[in-house]
Amino acid sequence: MSAITYRPYAKADEDAVIAHILAIQQGEFAVPVTAEEQPDLRAVAEVYQSSTGGFWVAEMAGRIVGTIGLIGFGTGEGALRKMFVAAKARGRELGVAARLLDILIEHSRAKGITGITLGTVAKLHAAIRFYEKNGFVAVAPGNLPEGFPRMPVDTHFYRLELG
């Protein structure tokens, strides 16, 4: 098994990141979403890497196997987005998802973010279990932080307080 490297997103990663995310969304989970419906994927620097946000990739054998993004909003708030780990890199053994989440949380704390909120869909059972196992708690849509950048497809919301 090759070593896994973690690093901030670079513009040269754009096509590989889009292919990685769409393969999971469309191919694995049959979520009917296109790259065109996710304009943030062609504007990572502007959407994620400005102000308090960030976007990171995990690479194995020269291929992107994981992504995670953070959008800073409001005062001390962050929205977790685009967390996708390739099937071959999932699970506790490699720990790709856990390491990506750790990187995002470390960055958030360093930037003064005190709460991270995310939206997901019901069919992503493993993702929901992962978030709950890592301290995220369910939040009713009416209790989302003001200014949370909600995605139309999301039906379930979770929050992690970084006390």
Indicate whether 94 belongs to any domain: yes
* pLDDT for res 32: 84
- CATH number for the domain harbouring residue 75: 3.40.630.30
**Percent of the chain with pLDDT strictly greater than 90:** 85
Q: Is 151 contained in some domain?
A: no
14: containing domain: 4-116
How many helices (H) and strands (E) would you count in the chain?
4, 7
Cα separation, 163 vs 154, whole angstroms: 26
With respect to residue 158, please indicate whether it lies within any of the assigned structural domains: no
The answer to whether position 138 is within a domain reads: no
The pLDDT score that the predictor gives to residue 1 is: 58
Cβ atoms of 83 and 114 within 8 Å: the answer is: no
Q: Tell me, yes or no, whether 137 lies in a domain.
A: no
Report the C-alpha gap between 94 and 11 in whole angstroms.
26
Look at residue 51 and tell me if it is in a domain. Answer: yes
Q: What are the φ/ψ torsions at residue 109 (nearest 5 degrees)?
A: -60, -45
- 156 lies in some domain: no
When divided into structural domains, the chain yields a total of 1
pTM of the model: 0.95
Q: What is the spatial distance between Cα 66 and Cα 60, in angstroms, rounded to a whole number?
A: 9
The per-residue pLDDT for range 104-132, each reduced to its tens digit, is 999 999 999 999 999 998 888 999 999 99
Unique residue bearing structure tokens 């992962």: 130
- Structure confidence by residue, pLDDT tens digits, 79-93: 999 999 999 999 989
Establish if 135 belongs to a structural domain.
no
CA distance 28 to 25: 6
